[in-house]
Amino acid sequence: MLLIPCPWCGPRPENEFRHGGEAHVVRPVDPRCVSDAEWADFLYNRTNPKGIHAERWRHIHGCGRFFNCIRDTVTDRIVTTSK
Amino acid sequence: MVGSTHFSAWSLLRRAFGGAWPEQWRAPEPRDAYDVVIIGAGGHGLATAYYLASQHGIRNIAVLDKGWLGGGNTGRNTTIIRSNYLCDESAAIYEHALKLWEGLSQALNYNVMYSPRGVMMLAHNHHDVRVFRRHVHANRLLGVDNEWLTPEQAKAFCPPLDIGRSVRYPVLGAALQRRGGVARHDAVAWGYARAASALGVDIVQNCEVTGIDRGPDGAVTGVRTTRGSIRCRKVGVVAAGHTSVLMAMAGVRMPLESFPLQALVSEPVKPVMPCVVMSNTIHAYISQSDKGELVIGAGTDVYTSYSQAGGPHIASHTLEAICELFPTFRRLRMLRNWGGIVDCTPDRSPIIGVTPVPGLFVNCGWGTGGFKATPGSGHVFAATIARGEPHPIAAPFSLDRFRTGRLIDEAAAAAVSH
């Protein structure tokens, strides 16, 4: 179980959180103007890196807020979290 | 079979009286060029090579693996085989696989120990009952066996099951596929490896692919590996959890996320579990191996990872469920626990077919339940690589479905929550 440092509440066990998937996935500003391929890329394609991963977590059983996290997906070590 | 012993009762008996067992597949050095390179020597990759060689006359094939063959998810899964999925497309491919399982030991001349002992999926609440009955009806329309059992019938089929009403999640019924069961996972990899090697396929282990080369027209021209460069016109990526990493080498983004999935086994005991039991709601699945160990599957971690481990709380959660369903197992000790990296798609269905890169094919996204499909997956993927266009059974599972929106949602049938 990961010990995740919530930027608001401090270190808490993983089961207080929900994983929010890859960070910085930007929804197209005007979905009517993008192609099906671009829309699919936004909806479904993910970097899924082996190594450093920028992801989001949500502290659902704490402050309820989303935050960003940098984690190594090989060692599961959390490098840093930020608001 | 070319170049290897034919197994029979007589040949096994004769071997029992002495003499070393011969190696069952060659260990060649990689050559400079092949017609087809398969990346990943798991069950699906080896099956692909075997069917390319045996049914499509393409024998100049290399199967590359960064580790040893069958050392990834093929050797780590809980070996459950069934075909009772909901959608027509899924039933087609899993049923195709199940029919191949039924004759696989004979086809490969290698005992894969396929045992159709029945797979029973438990319903614990009103919604489970509705969903499973819907599956039973959908399967029956497609000619796939699946039947509804009352709690008493479920108990009769699997005596150690507790159907008492006082437990937190009482058993309200079950869907049973009698043709479902288990097989010996290592034997599947070894059987395909042996048969493919005998047909001339080079299986190159400890050979990690580090790059995919492409020509000026964008088409695949070869792969770079830790054991040198290999030229080829066609590459099939069958790398499960590492598919995103490999496809990124060719500049293709994939709708995949990799998660650790755990399994564990108990100390061996006398035969006690006559079938496979799965419960989606309280999340447990269990069967008994021929060695006597109870084989238990847990869920995935909630976050993406390549760690091949998994959180202990995930496994404990599953054991709590097992102990509630089977109170007699409470005092069993667990012997081993391990993880594998599974690649999950958004619709929980696999991706089998062509990619935007000419000459590059992919077979991935089997998520938490790829073992059952091994023969069917290899069979249709081989046809797809040989012809350069999707096999009819593979066609709905295109990478392009995420653009067209024709998803095949099997989240309810996939059994493992993720």
Residues B299, B302, B306, B312: is their CA dihedral positive or negative? negative
B305, B345, B351: best to mutate for the A interface, most A CBs within 10 A: B305
Chosen for mutation from A48, A58, A61 (greatest number of chain B CBs closer than 10 Å) is: A48
Determine contact: A43 vs chain B, CB below 8 A: yes
For residue A22, the cross-strand partners are A55
Query: What is the three-class DSSP state of B194?
Result: helix
How far does B240 lie from chain A, in Å, by closest CA? Answer: 13
Domain ranges of chain A: 3-82
Longest dimension (CA), chain B: 68
Q: pLDDT tens digit string along A30-71?
A: 999 999 999 999 999 999 999 999 999 999 999 999 999 999
Q: What is the pLDDT of residue B204?
A: 98
CA neighbor of A21 nearest in space, from B406, B398, B255: B255
Rounded to whole angstroms, the Cα distance separating B352 from B370 reads 12
A82 touches chain B (CB under 8 A): no
CA distance A19 to chain B (A): 6
- A69 touching B, CB under 8 A? no
B195: CB partners within 8 A, 6+ apart? B1, B50, B54, B108, B109, B110
For position B416, what pLDDT does the model report?
61
Which residues fall within 8 angstroms of residue B283, CB to CB, at 6 or more apart?
B298, B299, B317, B318, B321, B416, B417
pLDDT tens digits for range B176-197: 999 999 999 999 999 999 999 9
Q: What is the DSSP letter of B28?
A: P
Chain A residue closest to B313 (CA)? Answer: A1
Least confident range of B62-66, B149-153, B408-412: B408-412
Q: CA B412 to CA B176: how far, in whole Å?
A: 16
On whether any CB of chain A is under 8 Å from the CB of B304, the answer is yes
Burial class (CB in 10 A: 0-12, 13-18, 19+), B158: buried
Report the alpha-carbon distance of residue B321 to residue B312 in Å, rounded.
Answer: 15
Structure tokens at B288: 């008994």
Of A14, A46, A55, the CB nearest to B255: A46
Q: Which residues of B touch A47 (CB under 8 A)?
A: 244, 253
pLDDT in tens, B129-147: 999 999 999 999 999 999 9
DSSP string, B215-265: -TTS-EEEEEETTEEEE-SEEEE--GGGHHHHHHHTT--BS-EEEEEEEEE
The C-alpha angle with vertex B32 and arms to B28 and B35, in degrees rounded to 5, equals: 90
Q: Give yes or no for a contact between A7 and A64, defined as CB atoms under 8 angstroms apart.
A: no
State how far Cα B172 lies from the chain centre.
29
CA angle B313, A19, B364 (to 5 degrees): 90
| pLDDT one-digit tens code per residue, B251-298 | 999 999 999 999 999 999 999 999 999 998 888 899 999 999 999 999
Show the tokens assigned to B192: 């395909």
Instruction: For residue B141, give Cα distances in angstroms to B91, B102, B173, B200.
Output: 11, 21, 21, 42
pLDDT tens digits for range B25-49: 999 999 999 999 999 999 999 999 9
Give the pLDDT mean for B374-397.
Answer: 98
Mean pLDDT for B350-362 is 97
Q: Is B311 on the interface with A (CB under 8 A)?
A: yes
Which of A15, A44, A76 faces B307 most closely, judged by CB atoms? Answer: A76
Residues of chain B neighbouring A55 (CB-CB closer than 8 A): 303-304
Model's pTM, two decimal places?
Answer: 0.95
CB B124 within 8 A of CB B172: yes
AA letter at B196 = A
Q: What is the pLDDT of residue B303?
A: 96
Cα→Cα distances B15→B19, B22, B107, B184, Å: 6, 10, 22, 22
From first CA to last CA, the distance across chain A in angstroms is 22
Q: What is the pLDDT of residues B205-237, one digit of tens each?
A: 999 999 999 999 999 999 999 999 999 999 999
∠ at Cα B343 (B357, B287), nearest 5°? 140
- Tell me if A45 and B306 make a contact (CB, 8 A cut-off): no
CB contact under 8 A, B403 and A37: yes
What residues of B are in contact with residue A45 (Cβ under 8 Å)?
Answer: 253-255, 402
A73 to B302: CB separation less than 8 angstroms, yes or no: no
What gap in Å lies between CA B341 and CA B414, rounded to an integer?
16
Q: What is the spatial distance between Cα B207 and Cα B239, in angstroms, rounded to a whole number? A: 13
Query: A3-82: what CATH class?
Result: alpha beta
- Is the pLDDT score of B415 beyond 90? no
CB contact under 8 A, A19 and B312: no
Contact criterion met (CB below 8 Å) for B410 and B347: yes
Tell me what the mean pLDDT of segment B347-373 comes to: 96
CB contact under 8 A, A36 and B404: yes
